[in-house]
Amino acid sequence: MPGPLTGLVVVALEQAVAAPLATRQLADLGARVIKIERPGVGDFARGYDRTVHGQSSHFVWLNRGKESVELDVKEDTEVLRALAARADVFVQNLAPGAAERLGFGAAELSSAFPRLITCDISGYGSDGPYRDRKAYDLLIQSEAGLISITGSPAEPAKVGIAAADIAAGMYAYGGILTALYDRERTGRGSNIEVSMLEALGEWMGFPYYYATYGGSAPERSGVRHATIAPYGAFRAGDGTVIQLGIQNEREWQDFCAKVLLMPHVATNARFVSNSSRLAHRSELDAVIDSVFGGLTGSELVARLEDARIAFGRQRTVAEFAEHPQLRQRDRWRTVSTPGGDVQALLPPATFRGWEADMGPVPALGEHTEAVLRWLRSNGA
């Protein structure tokens, strides 16, 4: 069955991660996404690496199902305006002020095309003292305080994925869907603005409240938890690493009785409550390590499953790609790219009755002529 956004046209003046993530999800839902790229070079994310059949891993991930049009937006403004006239959604994440200088700012587009939904994605927003600053994921992670609470007690670290870009892309995607729904009710388009700093700032809610009203930020604790124990990585005797998370006192008692086989530990004064376990974390870890070290990974997993304790195996990326849960649920699909087929996960939201339209990744300028013919055929 066709996706719920079939028939909608999205024009994407986009690059890098945030905007392409938002529009790729619209393409998965059936929207026609026309991606505008620099002639000869394209989205600079095409050059990040050459790991996927000679193509960039970021670009392959973020651009399936789109049509690539090479366009010099400074010279071919009439073509871009014709595309905007045919569009339902116009997304851009150019440098601050660039869209306005080209004549494609949100206010101007809305005046010309009242039903058009515009979405501007930037690092810091359209005003304020940081408006014109360049914004990359590392810099936003730093400005939002995320790096300060990530890593080990000895050294902070950035998150290993583009958290700020992904946050902005997800809020842009949700905002566009909201605006489409609103247009159905009102007949009018909307202007959406998403700032990477504000998007990641929303994700910083817990540490913000903890630090602001508790007097100090959560301590960097690696894979451990700043306020829960036992929580984090523990190793079985054969080297298998298990991430453990005990969330309440009932689980703690079951863990002691059925996994450690030491029920008396649960009522020991040093471990009887979460606060006491935090105060004596090193002693608690020593007790757990003494038991886990005598078990194989399989034996430990069996005990944890029997006791219904929350845990996870620490997997590599390669092991994740072979995850038995994803395989059993048939979550992988084949997507074609100019360099060869790749495997891609179905989008997380599963709908009964239709499946995401996971189209091919486009070559640079692959659809330029076809899109120009489409514009001419519609009298644009």
**Which pLDDT does position 378 carry in this prediction?**
66
Closest CA to 11 of 72, 27, 3, 376: 27
Cβ 99 vs Cβ 193: under 8 Å:
no
Is a pLDDT exceeding 60 seen at residue 23? yes
156-194: pLDDT as tens digits: 999 999 999 999 999 999 999 999 999 999 999 999 999
Q: What is the DSSP string of 126-160?
A: SSSTTTTS---HHHHHHHTTTGGGSB-SS-B---S
**Residue 287: phi, psi to the nearest 5?**
-65, -45
Is a pLDDT exceeding 90 seen at residue 322? yes
Q: Is the model's pTM score more than 0.85? A: yes
Cβ 34 vs Cβ 328: under 8 Å:
no
Q: What is the mean pLDDT of residues 326-355?
A: 95
For 355, how many CA atoms within 13 A lie in the half-sphere containing its CB? 8
Q: What is the mean pLDDT of residues 309-331?
A: 95
Q: What is the mean pLDDT of residues 261-286?
A: 94
**Which pLDDT does position 218 carry in this prediction?**
86
**Which pLDDT does position 171 carry in this prediction?**
98
Q: How confident is the model at residue 239 (pLDDT cuts 50, 70, 90)?
A: very high
List of domains in the chain:
9-205+332-377 (3.40.50.10540), 231-315 (3.30.1540.10)
C-alpha–C-alpha distance, residues 273 and 267, integer Å: 9
Q: How confident is the model at residue 226 (pLDDT cuts 50, 70, 90)?
A: confident
Q: How confident is the model at residue 289 (pLDDT cuts 50, 70, 90)?
A: very high
Query: Is 225 a residue of the active site?
Result: yes
Please name the residue ranges forming H helices in the chain: 18-28, 57-62, 77-86, 98-102, 106-112, 137-143, 163-186, 196-203, 205-214, 249-254, 274-279, 281-292, 297-307, 317-321, 324-328, 368-377
Q: CA of 165: how far to CAs of 140, 232, 250, 257, in Å?
A: 9, 27, 39, 44
Q: What is the mean pLDDT of residues 239-258?
A: 94
Tally helices (H) and strands (E) across the chain.
16, 11
Q: What share of the chain is helix, strand, coil (3-state, %, to 5)?
A: 40, 15, 45
Compute how many other C-beta atoms are within 10 angstroms of the C-beta atom of residue 357: 16
User: Which residue is catalytic, options 225, 280, 323, 367?
Assistant: 225
Q: CA of 234: how far to CAs of 155, 228, 244, 360, in Å?
A: 21, 15, 7, 42
C-alpha–C-alpha distance, residues 333 and 28, integer Å: 13
The residues facing 70 across adjacent strands are 37
Q: What is the DSSP string of 267-307?
A: GSTTTSSHHHHHHTHHHHHHHHHHHHTTS-HHHHHHHHHHH
Q: CA of 327: how far to CAs of 322, 331, 343, in Å?
A: 7, 6, 12
Q: What is the mean pLDDT of residues 201-230?
A: 89
Token pair for 85: 């006239």
DSSP-derived letter for residue 67 is E
| Alpha-carbon 325 to chain mean position | 21
List the end-to-end C-alpha distance of the chain, in Å, as a whole number. Answer: 30
Q: CA of 201: how far to CAs of 88, 91, 167, 207, in Å?
A: 29, 22, 9, 10
DSSP-derived letter for residue 117 is E
Is a pLDDT exceeding 80 seen at residue 379? no
Tokens 């790609």 identify what position?
Answer: 321
Q: What is the mean pLDDT of residues 101-130?
A: 95
User: Three-state SS for 19?
Assistant: helix
**Which pLDDT does position 47 carry in this prediction?**
94
Q: What is the mean pLDDT of the chain?
A: 94
**Which pLDDT does position 276 carry in this prediction?**
93
**Which pLDDT does position 380 carry in this prediction?**
44
Q: What is the mean pLDDT of residues 214-239?
A: 88
C-alpha–C-alpha distance, residues 343 and 182, integer Å: 35
